[in-house]
A and B are shown apart, each in its own frame.
Chain A
Amino acid sequence: MPMGNTQPSVRPASAGRAGGAAVTSAAHRSGARPRRTRGGLRAERYAPYILVLPAVLIIVLLRLYPLLLGVNFSFTGDGEQNGTAVGFGNYRELFADPLFQTALKNVGLLVLLLPVAVAIPGLLATFIYLRVPGHRFYRSVYFFPAVLSPVIVGAIFNLLLAFDGPLNAVLGSFGIGPVDWLGDPDIAMFMVVGVHIWATFGMALVVFLAGFATLDAALLDAARVDGATLRQVVWHVIIPALSRTIQFVFVTTMIGMLTSMFGLLYIMTSGGPEGSTYLPEFYIWKQQGQMNRPALASAASTILFMIMLVVGLLQIKLLERSGKED
């Protein structure tokens, strides 16, 4: 049963089919029981709170509270100054650090590459939706790398892109001299981002296909009857109808680039060569774990959170605007 289309208004029939047996047997069993006592009633009143308690406790203590703690932490010092307030000292140091500057520059690169990372799965999903020969097969194959760990993906590409590795061997046989894919500061970041897009476009593809499932096929048929070309169909029918899905993919792809490339960076380049493949998340880990600068790392965390907040607010703005258009 797909989880995407459970509307309350159409549910009773299907829910009855799935759960009818459970409901009646439960009713029978408990029907024979004596009525609830007063103490039982009070326990019942607290039952909803007890049910949500574990989830709320864990989320508050290990998500929301650490966020505040971290922001607070970013205004204190490291090492000998541990615990004393240093104002914006960490932030000043952060923005003066060439490695963090590179990390921010790379975030800019990710923003520039974002349209590509969204367009590729969007176009492929369109073709799959239009039932290109073998569409089921493509769907399964394309989605596969998305479930692999970045570490596995990175390790495999380490192998393929090694200086004395297979890719250079193939290129060499065409007379193209060996390229140091992961060792050249001008190339390495593009390789890592390329591998990230290779590994995750299947995720966006599935989201796009879920969006296509809600598309009214009559619209496409009408356009087809009117003799629209594929390009016209994409521009005038599919993109307007899927605007919400497209926005969602934009935001989740951006968040994915900001928060799930650590594994690739860690195994493929370790931030090198010459610090050219740093991203904020790698910088945070490095300062916290290797450099023993937790307060500086907290400042970088706060900046990363602000970047993500901007991405999130942008989405809300876009959603509001598309809501008005509806």
Chain B
Amino acid sequence: MSRLRLGRWLVAIPMSLLALATIYPLLFTANVAMKTRRDYILDRFGLTDALRFENISTAWNSVGMGRYFVNSLFVVTVSVLLLLLFGSMAGFALSQLRFRGSSALFLGCLAGLFIPFQVIMVPLARIMADTALIDTYPGLILVYVAQFLPFTVFLMTSYYKGIPPEIVDAARIDGSTVYGVYRRIMLPLGTPALLSVGILNALFCWNDVLMALVMMPSADHRTLMIGVTSLRGQYSDNIPTFASGVLIAAIPVLLVYLFLQRQIADGVAAGSTKG
């Protein structure tokens, strides 16, 4: 037993080092963002001598990260709300209602899971250009919704399958319409799943680069992640400003992670155990 205990402590050492390697890059970036350019060149690793926010405000204002931040926030919010609405509607119907063709429709939605954006990028860009949706917010939102809807429908369907059909039957006998059942029973009962799926979708949309890059060519429509990529060319010689831009993009995710870590992990776990 004591041998095992010692072994556990021995394992804990490399695991702690790995934990350090996992968070250090972000801490380093945060530290650099507080330094002046001169400080950074003289000493890369030393702790900053003061909490300076000039770099952050430069990045936010003159680099335009503030504007991109608002763009991202808007696109992500609308996309996630639509995903949750369409996903829960379809999930409810596919799990609780019996109707002709329901299993074929479910399989159709599922098939979407196996088509990554890279594979349909060219035709999708063409469709968006033909419908004048390219370089518009509705266009990007539509692309995000289409990208993450199969996953959302899949998770909501398997979640709602766990709700006993007697609940729906009872409400129906009492004269509630299908829509009434959806609004007054399924939405409230689905809250835990909607929260998990919503946070995951928000992270996916917030973190996306490729779709935003293909669908939003103009500079003032950039999302925050595209803003980060543009920092590389413009501020490669001004590392503290570069680090500040990265930090602005990372902080919302860090906050979401600190407060909602459980829901994120639950969502990932649910996706794996259902598969």
Contacts and interface: CB of A to CB of B under 8 A. Distances in A.
Interface stretch (A51-59, A93-101, A107-115): A51-59
Given A8-B161, A26-B185, A262-B210, A62 B268 contact: no
Question: Helix, strand, loop or mixed for chain B's interface?
Answer: helix
A133 B182 contact: no
Given A22-B185, A44-B177, A267-B232, A151 B261 contact: no
B52 interface: no
Interface string A12-51: 1001001100110111011101011000100010011101
A118 interface: no
Interface stretch (A140-148, A185-193, A215-223): A140-148
A314 interface: no
A64 B112 contact: yes
A314 to B, nearest CB: 13
Interface string B202-213: 010011111001
Contact of A158 (B116, B178, B184, B232): B232
Choose among B23, B109, B210 the residue with the greatest number of A CB atoms under 10 Å from its CB.
Answer: B210
Question: Helix, strand, loop or mixed for chain A's interface?
Answer: helix
A124 B18 CA distance: 10
A4 B124 CA distance: 34
Given A149-B249, A294-B122, A214 B171 contact: no
B16 interface: yes
A239 interface: no
Contact of B122 (A54, A140, A214, A288): A288
A27 B89 contact: no
A55 B153 contact: yes
Given A30-B180, A301-B119, A151 B23 contact: no
Contacts of B127: 62, 66, 69
Contacts of B116: 255, 258-259, 304, 308
Contacts of A70: 119-120, 122-123
B28 to A, nearest CB: 7
B155 interface: yes
- Range, interface on chain B: 35 or more
Contacts of B125: 288, 294
Contact of B177 (A40, A259, A298): A40
Interface in B149-189: 149-150, 153, 155, 158-159, 161-164, 166-167, 170-171, 174-182, 184-185, 188-189
Interface in B14-36: 15-16, 18-19, 21-23, 25-26, 28-29, 32
B201 to A, nearest CB: 13
B86 A54 contact: yes
A147 B257 contact: yes
Contacts of A49: 93, 99
Contacts of A2: 266, 269-270
B86 A298 contact: no
A66 B214 CA distance: 15
A150 B209 contact: yes
A61 B42 CA distance: 56
Contacts of A258: 116
A18 B28 contact: no
A169 B41 CA distance: 11
A234 interface: no
B203 to A, nearest CB: 6
A301 B117 CA distance: 10
A15 B118 contact: no
Contacts of A305: 115, 119
Given A169-B44, A267-B228, 14 more contacts: A3-B193, A22-B189, A54-B90, A55-B153, A59-B112, A62-B142, A66-B127, A166-B44, A206-B269, A207-B272, A213-B269, A230-B7, A259-B118, A263-B225
14 contacts: A4-B274, A27-B170, A52-B89, A52-B102, A55-B153, A56-B90, A56-B108, A66-B123, A131-B8, A151-B225, A152-B253, A263-B210, A289-B213, A294-B126
Interface of B: 7-9, 11-12, 15-16, 18-19, 21-23, 25-26, 28-29, 32, 44-45, 85-87, 89-90, 92-94, 97, 99, 102, 105, 108-109, 111-112, 114-127, 142-143, 145-146, 149-150, 153, 155, 158-159, 161-164, 166-167, 170-171, 174-182, 184-185, 188-189, 192-193, 196, 203, 206-210, 213-214, 225, 228-229, 231-232, 239, 242-243, 246, 249-250, 253-254, 256-257, 261, 264-270, 272-275
